[in-house]
Structure 1
Amino acid sequence: MSSLPPPQAPLYNHPLPALEQWLRDLGAVQHGPHSCVWDLQLGGWSAQIELEVEELSIRWQSGDTPVERHFPYGFSRADVEAAILAGP
């Protein structure tokens, strides 16, 4: 298990195992052992989180209309986590 950098650290300061542990801690499930796509189910909505080359993208689904946002790896883990958990 990787220890996480401080919550205010930018995502680019997190090694991949730490990012994966953070997503697991949020309750997300990885699509496969080497996948960069994660699913998160919370309350009345779900989110698909993708670790892309330049940014982290989130697609929330609640009802019929999906909402998509992109966060550069320069954003802090705390800010991205707050956005993810705020939902669509």
Structure 2
Amino acid sequence: MPLPAADTPLYNHPLPDIEQWLLTKGCEQNRSERHCWHIQQPDWKAELCLDIDQLTVRYKQPHESDYSIQRSFKYSLSRRDIEDAVFAGP
């Protein structure tokens, strides 16, 4: 089943669609904390957590041990806006 239109707020996406979207963006689901996902890019990596009312993203540089930047995005934002912000990196 295709994803809802990219300008649809994320809260109008069923959870399986959100999970599929994250997979297509290169994210891997955390095995112990199923609401969290990880992504590794050449210049940064991040943990994305699907919280109750927002998507929380914690970025860090590849060789740092602590997360350096945290951002939160309300599910009322469109998938396109969240995607543009999250996957652009810190």
Q: One fold, TM greater than 0.5?
A: yes
Give, in angstroms, the shift of residue 43 of structure 1.
Answer: 1.4
RMSD (CA atoms): 1.6
Count matched residues: 87
The letter for the 2-side match of 1:12 is Y
Q: Percent identity?
A: 39
The alignment status of 1:25 with 2:24, answered yes or no, reads: yes
List structure 1 segments (4+ residues) > 3 angstroms apart after TM superposition. Answer: none
CA–CA distance in structure 1, aligned partners of residues 72 and 23 of structure 2: 20
Q: TM-score normalised to the size of structure 2?
A: 0.89
Q: TM-score normalised to the size of structure 1?
A: 0.91
CA–CA distance in structure 2, aligned partners of residues 34 and 60 of structure 1: 17
SS in 1 for 2:23: helix
The alignment status of 1:36 with 2:35, answered yes or no, reads: yes
CA–CA distance in structure 2, aligned partners of residues 73 and 87 of structure 1: 19
Query: Structure 1: any 5+ residue segments left out of the alignment?
Result: none
